[in-house]
Every structure is written in structure tokens, then in C-alpha cells.
Amino acid sequence: MIHRILVFCCLLSLNFTTELFAQKIGDFVFNKLPQDYHFYPRDDKNKADVPIVADITNKSVTAVSVKVFRNGNLFKYAKSAFSGINPYKNAVSINAELAEYDLEIYQFIGLDSNLVVRRKNIVAGDVFLVTGQSNAWIGPMDDKVYQGEYLRSFGAIQPPDNYGPYKLSDTLWSLASNQARVGPWVSEIAKNLIESEKIPFCFINSAAGGSAIDFHLILDGDLKSPYGGNIMLYKALKAGVIDKVQAIIYRQGEAESTLPAGSPFDWWWKFDQLKTKYKKYFPSAKYVFCPQNNVYEFQYSPAALVRENQRAQYTNDPYVKSFATVGTKQFDGLHYGNDGYRQSGFELFRIISSEIYKRTWDKQIYSPNIVKAYFKSKNETRKLYLEFEPGQIMVVPNDTTVIDPTGKSQKRIMKDNFFYDGINAVSAAKYIDNIEVEGNKVILNLNQEYPSDIISYLPDYFREFYAFNKAPFPGPFIRNKAGMRAFAFSSIPIVRLDQNFDFSIGPNPAVDKITIRWQNMSTGNIKIYDMKGNVVYEDSYLAVFFKDIDTSKLPAANYFLSTTGLDGTSITKRLAIVK
């Protein structure tokens, strides 16, 4: 915690230095003055202060006044005497609302007054940072793309694909249009948030087309010639919003899913590094929103593992929120038409609305996420249950018929989307007769013994790409009743509900290490509690018969060790630590 506070103080220091570039207007040398279209983050009282700081060089100035206009009408007026002692300071409070504020500063010499400066179209609201690859910002700016007065952005796009080094002088506030456009996807998110929350929004988009995660990991606070993730940091600091970022939207992973065959898979641990850096440099961000990738035609099997890790990050880390992008309209194999960007923009808006603004939405706004896969008993192995979160109402569509680019009608079968290996390459279709649903469960009715103890969903890549005459992956997809597609998944262990998941602990009493052994392969969570009920250790386990736990840092005492399996059953045993 101390480290986080020190980092935050350093960021505030960096932010302060960005305000010191003085601007001379008449007899005033301003150190703080809003720009036209300036955006200020709101506070917890739904207001924002607009600071004015200046050195007044004319000794004859006797007073300074500030007029504030709301939508063209006088909102506030304040006049204060100037004693000749610099700097002159003032702070005007404005409301976070669907209104624009103008500001006029006057100087007085005796009874005579002169306009010093006028600033227009100032607003207050909430801030989001956006980054990732091209899907986070490209797309034609058609007449349905929101570019209205209540969506603001900061800085400029760096041609051709928004890479750096960032031009340090590009620090103007503006509407999110032209060289400050944020793209149709982000504009759709913003439009819906503006309509829902009735406040302005600022989206600062630093996505770069085709960028790998390594580009975004260039985030170390070096702002002399910002590149990679330092671009987003530089813009957030220069904009003065670093301490008020609601969340980071990170749409990336296509680069690591379209590599040449044989390339190593390393997105997972690099994303862990990126999360750590985001928490360090953007400590106010509550979440990282990271959509799960689509299915591409590029022949790289670990693409399935990128999707699985995006799902696992969402499943295991409350800091990460996600949804499935498969089944989005107008998919061309990598990018989307604007209707597709609008669709996924609306889908992410609902999740942001629920998670950050606590608006009430049905559970169906979330992509269904698998919880467990199981057979009910040793004698019932012809029905493989895929269970999703409580509250999801699942739908399995019929097989999909599409018209390929040559005009030929093509059919894809739902059961072709299931696999019994860990990289979603070996089809389980021949083992599946049909598929049915039961509430939050999808049931695969099998015609023979299932050949594996894991199951995966959606192919590593679109293996029928050429058979479909280069059509993009058409599905079909498991959905919920609201149309949200289920997350793709890999290597989900299959258990039997009638199995005994009792375990032993050894040694017990223990000194610095224990081993937990299960009678059957087990998946679940472990917690160790002290005698006051405080959790002193917590971890998960996946498809294991045993697990070692380091207890060297636990003081000598009695504890309870509890395991919770996929079926929700908990078993608790006594554990003694001696020194």
C-alpha cells in the first residue's frame, strides 16, 4: 500500500509539472487556464473545479472578475481585489451535467475593465482510457457515429496507425472528431453512457493498429519521447485526469492470435505484467475491460489459449471484465463494419453501466461463462453437462447456413465447435448425437464413451476457411436468451458428481510445508482460516491429485483448511502448524 501511495504521489508531481507551461495573454501570465472544450473530471459531489492561476505583470491592476456562463446564460460572477501579490488564484465550480460552460476573465484598473480572455465549451464528467489494437479505434466515421458536444478527447491521432513517439505538443482538448476521433466502437460506448448517466464523458484513445502486447508493456514513466504504453500515461498526465480514471478499456490480443505456426504463446504472463503496470501508473482505474478475441483464419493453434486466458483473467481476477466478441455483426475475419462496432459498443456499455454505475441490468447482459463440466455419475456417461453461471438462460441455435463470398450456400454444424484436446484442434463432433439445454446448462448427448477428461469450445482457428471460400468464421454459437455469446474455453476438466473428493493433509502437524492429496482428480479452491475466521491463505487448483502449500510464513497455531469443489461442496479439516 505504501508503494502504491508513493507511486500516486509521483504521478501527481508529474501532473503538476505539466501545468507549468505559462501562457501570456495581455498583462496575465497564466499557469492554469482552461482551454476551449476543456474537460474536467467530476468529484464525488458531481462537481469539478476549474482552476485559474496567473501572475499579473501590470502593477496598476486593482481587481479581477470572472464570469461563468451556462449554456450561454450567466451562471456565476465573482470579483476580487488584487493587492499586487502574485500569483492570482481562483477556482470556479461547475456541475457535471449535460451543459457547457463558458468563462470570461476581466481585469480592472480603477473603474475601467477589459476582457483578458474568454474560454468556451467547458464540461465536467467521467474519464475512460482506451488502448489496444485497431479494433479499439478504426472504422469509418459515418453519420451514426456519435461526435457530439458531450464526448471529449485529448491529444491527436499519430498517423498512420497511432504509434509513437508521441508528438509532445499535441495536447489540445477537443470534441472526439477528426484528428481526435476515438472510433465508432468507443463512440458508441460513450453515446450510451451519456444518455444513461446524463453527464459528459472523456475517452482518451491510445490504441495502435496491429500493436502487440509488448508495445503496451513499454510503460515505465519515461515521458521524454513517449512510446508504447507511455503514450497513454503522457496524455492522461497532460490532460490532468490521471487521478480520476474510471477504467481502462484494453482491446488487444489479435496480434498474438495471428502469429506464424510454431511461435511461442506468451500473452498470458505478459498480460499479468501489464495489469501490474496499470495498477501502478493508473491507480484510480477500477477495472480493465478486455474483450475476448474472435476466431480467426490464421493457422496458429495457441490462438485458443489467448482466448482461454482472457476468459480465465475475467474468471479469476475481479480487476478484469470481459465479454465474448464471437458472433458480432459484419465480421470480416479481423475487423468489423460499423454495425458490428456499434453492437459490441452497446454490449460493453451495458457491462460498464452495471459494474461502474451500478445500474440494474438482467444477468443476460454478460457473456455466459462455463463454471464446470461433468457427468452426473459413473453410470450416466452419455450426458455431458456444461454448466454456466447461475441466472444464465442458455440457448443453443440450430446449425448455421451462410452464403460464402462466391455465393455458395455453406452449412456449419453446432457440434463441430466442441473439442476434446487442450488447444481446440481435435473435434469431438463424432461423439455427439445432439445438444439440448436446461436452464443454465448445455447438455451434450453422446453416442459413445467420451475419449477425454477435458472439453474445449470453439476452434483454435477457422480450419474450414478455404472450404468456405475465405468466409469469416460463421459460428454457430452458444448464446443466452439475450443473444450474448458464451465465452470460448479450453481444457475444462470433466468431473463426476458422484466421485469422492475427500482429501488428506500431510504432515499434520506441519512445519513449513503440507501436501494435500485427493482420492480423485479435483478442481476447486482452497482456503486456510485462523481460529478467528480470517482467511490467511487462498488458492485454486485445477485437475490435480495433489497440491503442495508453503506454510513457512504461517505462525504456529491451529487452523482450518477448507476445499470447495466445482459442485460447490466444501470439506473442512483441522490443520496444526508447529515451529
Would residue 4 count as lying in a domain?
no
3-state secondary structure of 435: strand
| Backbone torsions φ then ψ of 434, nearest 5 degrees | -155, 175
The DSSP bridge pattern shows strands 441-446 and 383-388 to be antiparallel
* pTM over cut 0.85: yes
- Rounded Cα distance between 276 and 250, Å, is 14
Would residue 10 count as lying in a domain?
no
Would residue 6 count as lying in a domain?
no
CA atoms 288, 292, 296, 302: torsion sign = positive
The pLDDT assigned to 397 comes to 85
Q: Which of 441, 470, 496 is the last residue of a domain?
A: 496
The pLDDT assigned to 158 comes to 86
Would residue 287 count as lying in a domain?
yes
Distances in Å between the Cα of 16 and the Cα atoms of 48, 242, 243, 328 are 17, 11, 12, 43
List the domain range (segments joined by +) for residue 329.
125-365
Number of domains observed in the structure of the chain: 4
Residues 299 and 357 in one domain: yes
The one-letter code for the residue type at 552 is S
Would residue 1 count as lying in a domain?
no
Residues 173 and 298 in one domain: yes
Contact between 477 and 442 under an 8 Å Cβ cutoff? The reply is: no
The pLDDT assigned to 499 comes to 81
Report which secondary-structure segment, H or E, holds 433: strand 432-438
Residues 482 and 521 in one domain: no
- Rounded Cα distance between 142 and 502, Å, is 60
428: cell is: 469431438
Contact between 538 and 526 under an 8 Å Cβ cutoff? The reply is: yes
The pLDDT assigned to 398 comes to 84
In the chain, DSSP finds a helix count (H) and a strand count (E) of 8, 31
- Rounded Cα distance between 232 and 95, Å, is 27
Q: Which of 336, 365, 394 is the last residue of a domain?
A: 365
Residues 351 and 210 in one domain: yes
Residues with pLDDT less than 50, the chain: 1-20
Residues 166 and 250 in one domain: yes
